[in-house]
């Protein structure tokens, strides 16, 4: 094998990054919802008129994605009957409600990604299930646990305030609702506000345009289930963006459009997917009580620096972990210094990225196109992609890669898209331009949270997030944040963290209800101790500005001091799961004050 020239690769990566750095960083984007509200409307379900609600529930949860569903499931099992989900979409699913673009499928194996498979008795049909099956599974969980009964769809929370006199949360919504809840949960997810590139002329385009999370099948024909988009057979279509979403929908557009123009600023790294149907006989052989937790933990172990003896999922993600471990094991014990371990990691990364670049060279016939599809950055600078038809799509004569050498599309005209000084006339522009990540929480959510004594969450977290276990915040009683920061942060299988948090929420609420407590809140001391403990670890590990720009590093600008607190357990995701399981099982709820 040719030895890796680390310096040469680093130089090439730096040159490619520098081409893409922009002074306006995240400000280059526009919010779909506020700027283009007609494009942001729900194309899937009409908004149904209803009376405003003024009642009380034991538990209200903001967000009807996996977080709200799994917390609801565990609370129902714990005997909380009046659980209400408030959701801006027209049904359960969260990101899976909105993202119905053709080819959408989970990126992490269904066996570990789709929550509550054992409880609902569902066998995923494929190793990586497609979006309609995942959305159906969300409905299945909703029906199985009776979560539809109290749910509010097409409803956005506008205000959330703790009422010290009544010891309840006061909730207001954009549908005129004003109701109270003893407990509140928040699981709004990290990628729910769609964005468009702030291109000059974007509002002037005379043809059809939409964002991938608002796919207009009435215009394209076809269905999310994969039926051909027959109405595109006489259309010239542009897609802007080549991230994880575009990688999944480009093969479908390439198949169905008369002509497809793929506008690329930065290529994705696209490794093989190897999807396959799940065999029911095989599934029966693994379907024993507790199998899903075992699989989820095995996946975490395979991505960490432990030495698991088996790899149940066995895919591109676990391959990443194995490569890094094997490089490290290759070092003699006395050579395993932090610097040598980082160098071994870098070598593993370069080796993998070179393989992925060679994959593009092998699959794509046109030499210039294959060169342009090669990704020049370290693997975790951007979301790694896996697909067996994306690169192949560029071999169709009707599919054109318009590479912009890092500069991006210049502008939109009445007739089409301008890039590299050339106007491409099209009938339809599809924006695969992603979602807001680094904008502030209040602006993304549409509400602030007012805690004890009138303190706003935005003020309380001004210098960075402070929580106990990522779930509870001092001064905000009976409130649960169902998300990954200060918990199992950076876990590749996001739902694993949600399912685990749901256990904790249900355990805490059950204890409070059984003992007649009105309030539960972490002590300030326990919260500070937890955050101080997290800071003893390797740090946030996000926002590396040596990476090519993207939402992982705030468009190349890195993150401020406060993002230092967007971190996880020092021993990684499994370290958090071990800690919290022992904490739950102890039954002493150390760090929480019940009143
Ligand atoms: P991304 O933010 O990853 O991609 C946006 C794309 O738009 C990038 O390719 C970006 O280029 C491009 N872009 C932006 N502005 C311009 C411009 N002016 N000209 C040309 N191109 C432009 O969004 P996605 O929706 O693809 O993915 C978001 C995240 O959602 C993923 O990272 C992943 O976490 C999740 N996801 C998960 C999936 C799954 O699990 N199945 C599937 C799809 C998404 P550049 O890279 O240069 O910024």
Evaluate: CB of 36 within 6 angstroms of ligand 1. no
Residue 164 region by backbone torsions, left for phi larger than 0, else alpha for psi between -120 and 50, else beta: alpha
Give the per-residue pLDDT at 539.
67
Same domain, 260 and 331: no
Range of the domain at 360: 24-33+194-273+356-431
CA distance 262 to 245: 13
Same domain, 246 and 392: yes
Evaluate: CB of 103 within 6 angstroms of ligand 1. no
Evaluate: CB of 571 within 6 angstroms of ligand 1. no
Give the per-residue pLDDT at 542.
63
Same domain, 237 and 306: no
Domain final position from 410, 431, 452? 431
Give the per-residue pLDDT at 329.
81
Ligand 1 geometric centre to CA of 467 (Å): 30
Same domain, 302 and 378: no
Ligand 1 geometric centre to CA of 298 (Å): 29
Give the per-residue pLDDT at 1.
55
What is the residue-wise DSSP string for 280-311? HHHHHHH-STTHHHHHHHHHHHHHSSS--S--
In contact, 446 and 188? CB cutoff 8 Å: no
Residue of 124, 189, 200, 434 best suited for mutating to test ligand 1, as the one with most atoms within 8 Å of CB: 434
**Domain assignment of residue 545, yes or no:** no
**Domain assignment of residue 287, yes or no:** no
**Domain assignment of residue 49, yes or no:** no
**Domain assignment of residue 544, yes or no:** no
Ligand 1 geometric centre to CA of 37 (Å): 21
- CATH number for the domain spanning 375: value is 3.50.50.60
Same domain, 415 and 446: no
CA distance 592 to 595: 10
Domain final position from 431, 456, 488? 431
Rounded mean pLDDT for each run of 10 residues along the chain, 595 residues in total: 81 94 88 76 93 98 98 98 97 97 97 98 98 98 97 97 98 97 94 91 96 96 96 98 98 98 98 96 96 96 84 91 82 84 86 95 98 94 95 98 97 98 98 88 88 96 94 98 92 94 98 98 98 85 80 82 85 93 96 98
Give the number of domains in the chain: 3
pTM: 0.95
Same domain, 121 and 209: no
Of 50, 271, 302, the closest CA to residue 174 belongs to 50
Domain final position from 367, 397, 431? 431
Residue of 245, 252, 401, 422 best suited for mutating to test ligand 1, as the one with most atoms within 8 Å of CB: 245
In contact, 265 and 116? CB cutoff 8 Å: no
Same domain, 232 and 364: yes
Which residue minimizes the CA distance to atom 13 of ligand 1? Answer: 241
**Domain assignment of residue 42, yes or no:** no
Evaluate: CB of 408 within 6 angstroms of ligand 1. yes
**Domain assignment of residue 166, yes or no:** yes
Ligand 1 geometric centre to CA of 74 (Å): 33
**Domain assignment of residue 39, yes or no:** no
Same domain, 188 and 244: no
Of 293, 502, 274, the closest CA to residue 301 belongs to 293
| Residue 238 half-sphere exposure toward CB, CA atoms < 13 A | 27
Evaluate: CB of 550 within 6 angstroms of ligand 1. yes
Give the per-residue pLDDT at 526.
98
Same domain, 136 and 65: yes
CA distance 342 to 546: 15
Same domain, 108 and 174: yes
Same domain, 181 and 205: no
| DSSP 3-state of 237 | strand
**Domain assignment of residue 5, yes or no:** no
Same domain, 82 and 227: no
CA distance 424 to 416: 5
Helix (H) or strand (E) holding 197: strand 195-197
Dihedral sign for Cα atoms in the order 514, 517, 519, 521:
negative
Give the per-residue pLDDT at 189.
87
């Amino acid at each position: 094998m040719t030895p890796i020239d680390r310096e040469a690769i680093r130089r090439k990566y730096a040159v490619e990054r520098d081409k893409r750095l922009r002074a306006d960083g995240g400000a280059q984007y526009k919010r779909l919802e506020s700027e283009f509200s007609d494009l942001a409307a729900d194309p899937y379900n009409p908004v149904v008129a209803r009376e405003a609600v003024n009642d009380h529930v034991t538990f209200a949860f903001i967000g009807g994605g996996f977080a709200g569903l799994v917390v609801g499931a565990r609370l129902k099992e714990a005997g909380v009957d009046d659980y209400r989900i408030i959701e801006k979409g027209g049904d359960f699913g969260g990101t899976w409600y909105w993202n119905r673009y053709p080819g959408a499928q989970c990126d992490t194996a269904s066996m570990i990604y789709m929550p509550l498979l054992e409880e609902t008795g569902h066998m995923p049909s494929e190793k990586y299930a497609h979006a309609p099956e995942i959305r159906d599974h969300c409905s299945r969980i909703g029906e199985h646990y009776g979560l539809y009964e109290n749910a509010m769809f097409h409803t956005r929370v506008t205000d959330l305030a703790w009422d010290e006199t009544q010891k309840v949360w006061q909730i207001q919504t954009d549908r005129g609702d004003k109701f109270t809840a003893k407990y509140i949960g928040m699981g709004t997810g990290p990628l729910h506000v769609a964005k468009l590139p702030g291109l000059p002329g974007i509002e002037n385009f005379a043809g059809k345009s939409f964002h991938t999370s608002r796919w207009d099948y009435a215009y394209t024909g076809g269905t999310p289930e994969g039926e051909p988009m027959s109405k595109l057979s006489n259309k010239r279509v542009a897609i802007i963006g080549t991230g994880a979403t575009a990688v999944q929908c480009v093969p479908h557009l390439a198949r169905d459009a008369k002509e497809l123009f793929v506008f690329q600023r930065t290529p994705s790294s696209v490794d093989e997917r190897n999807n396959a149907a799940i065999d029911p006989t095989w599934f029966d052989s693994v379907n024993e009580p507790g199998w899903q937790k075992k699989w989820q933990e095995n996946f975490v172990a395979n991505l960490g620096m432990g030495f698991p003896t088996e790899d149940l999922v066995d895919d591109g993600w676990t391959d990443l972990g194995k490569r890094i471990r094997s490089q490290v094991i290759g070092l003699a014990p006395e050579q395993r210094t932090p610097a040598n371990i980082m160098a071994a990691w870098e070598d593993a990364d370069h080796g993998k990225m070179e393989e992925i670049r060679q994959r593009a060279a092998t699959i794509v016939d046109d030499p210039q196109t294959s060169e342009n599809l090669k990704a020049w950055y370290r693997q975790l600078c951007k979301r790694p992609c896996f697909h067996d038809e994306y690169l192949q799509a560029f071999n169709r004569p009707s599919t054109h890669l318009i590479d912009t050498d890092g500069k991006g599309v210049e502008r939109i005209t009445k007739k089409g898209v301008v890039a590299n000084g050339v106007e491409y006339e099209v009938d339809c522009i599809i924006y695969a331009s992603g979602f807001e990540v680094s904008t502030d929480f209040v602006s993304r959510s549409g509400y602030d949270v007012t805690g004890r004594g009138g303190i706003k969450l935005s003020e309380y977290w001004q210098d960075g997030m402070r929580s106990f276990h990522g779930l509870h915040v001092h001064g905000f009683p009976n409130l649960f944040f169902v998300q990954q920061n200060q918990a199992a942060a950076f876990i590749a299988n996001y739902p694993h963290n949600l399912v685990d948090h749901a256990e904790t929420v249900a355990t805490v609420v059950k204890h409070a209800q059984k003992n007649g407590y009105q309030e539960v809140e972490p002590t300030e001391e326990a919260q500070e101790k937890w955050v101080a403990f997290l800071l003893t670890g390797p740090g946030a590990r996000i926002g590396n500005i040596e990476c090519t720009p993207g939402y992982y590093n705030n468009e190349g600008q890195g993150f401020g001091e406060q993002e230092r607190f967007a971190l996880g357990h020092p021993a990684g995701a499994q370290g958090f799961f071990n800690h919290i399981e022992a904490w739950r099982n102890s039954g002493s709820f150390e760090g929480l004050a019940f009143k």
